[in-house]
Amino acid sequence: GENVEQHPSTLSVQEGDSAVIKCTYSDSASNYFPWYKQELGKRPQLIIDIRSNVGEKKDQRIAVTLNKTAKHFSLHITETQPEDSAVYFCAASIPGNTDKLIFGTGTRLQVFP
Amino acid sequence: NAGVTQTPKFRILKIGQSMTLQCAQDMNHNYMYWYRQDPGMGLKLIYYSVGAGITDKGEVPNGYNVSRSTTEDFPLRLELAAPSQTSVYFCASSNLQGGNSPLHFGNGTRLTVT
């Protein structure tokens, strides 16, 4: 069935360094790829998304890249700050009669001062 | 706008008890979803609805039921609670089809079944 794999499960970086989280998806017809940030005890919130007709999208310190041929997409956070510490989830749309999102298992990012 | 409102925030159930998790949104979104989040895992889709009167199963529907009598409300029913249903439950809504537009999540309901 449809599947989204996310790596790594945990990531520790020094403040100011970059962080990269990678996801692969199984359905080549997927066309929407959002990233959600979930702080401890809070709800997931969208931080950036990309559609299949675009290869890269940036929003200040975060960017997402998409490789449709390889069926993978990545989240890049530059100049990390302690407030970036959270769990990040990738997701991919599963086209069908009603589009649904399939989520990865999450990456716990810790940014040390 | 309050966005997506979930009640209760916390609940402890005994095995075999039943309860309804409430979800309401005031954004006039057609699409609504229920997800569960187990520790260290991602979000699994339980049920979803594309509009009033229409519901469908997600990835993990067993043990749950839903209804959608109005655009605003999408309650999730647990009939015979089991320990495997211990989880955090998130309701979400979206303006377009969920696969192609951002999901707006509620604050979640933390459910423990003992």
| Number of inter-chain CB pairs under 8 A, A vs B | 65
* Distance spanning both ends of chain B, measured CA to CA: 36
Residues 6+ apart with CB under 8 A from A60: none
Q: Cβ separation of B90 and A101 shorter than 8 Å? A: no
Task: Report which of B100, B50, B104 is spatially closest to residue B74, judged by C-alpha positions.
Answer: B50
Q: Are A94 and A2 in contact (CB under 8 A)?
A: yes
User: B7 to each of A66, B62, B75, B80, how far by Cα in Å?
Assistant: 37, 22, 10, 19
Phi, psi dihedrals of residue B99, rounded to the nearest 5°: -80, -5
Instruction: Judge whether B100 is closer than 8 Å to chain A, CB to CB.
Output: yes
Task: Report which of B95, B100, B1, B105 is spatially closest to residue B43, judged by C-alpha positions.
Answer: B105
pLDDT at residue A16, as a whole number: 97
Q: Cβ separation of B99 and A46 shorter than 8 Å? A: no
Q: What is the pLDDT along chain B (114 residues), one digit of tens a residue?
A: 789 999 999 999 999 999 999 999 999 999 999 999 998 788 999 999 999 999 999 989 999 999 999 999 999 999 999 999 999 999 999 987 656 788 999 999 999 999
Q: Are B55 and B68 in contact (CB under 8 A)?
A: yes
- Cβ contacts (< 8 Å) between A31 and chain B: which residues? 99-100
Q: Are B75 and B22 in contact (CB under 8 A)?
A: yes
Q: Specify which residues A92 forms β-bridges with.
A: A102
Residues 6+ apart with CB under 8 A from A38: A44, A45, A86, A87, A88, A89, A106
pLDDT at residue A3, as a whole number: 87
Nearest-by-Cβ selection for A43 from B40, B58, B106: B106
Contacts 24+ apart (CB under 8 A), A35-38: A35/A62, A35/A64, A35/A75, A35/A88, A35/A89, A35/A90, A35/A91, A36/A88, A36/A89, A36/A91, A36/A103, A36/B103, A37/A86, A37/A87, A37/A88, A37/A89, A38/A86, A38/A87, A38/A88, A38/A89, A38/A106
Q: What is the pLDDT along chain A (113 residues), one digit of tens a residue?
A: 678 999 999 999 999 999 999 999 998 989 899 999 999 989 999 999 999 888 999 999 999 999 999 999 999 999 999 999 999 999 998 877 566 889 999 999 999 99
Cα–Cα distance for residue pair B34/B17, rounded to 1 Å: 20
Instruction: Judge whether B98 is closer than 8 Å to chain A, CB to CB.
Output: yes
Task: Report which of A27, A74, A29, A70 is spatially closest to residue A50, judged by C-alpha positions.
Answer: A74
Nearest-by-Cβ selection for A106 from B42, B48, B58: B42
Under DSSP, the state recorded for B62 is T
Residue B83, min C-alpha distance to chain A (Å): 21
Indicate the SS3 state at residue A84: helix
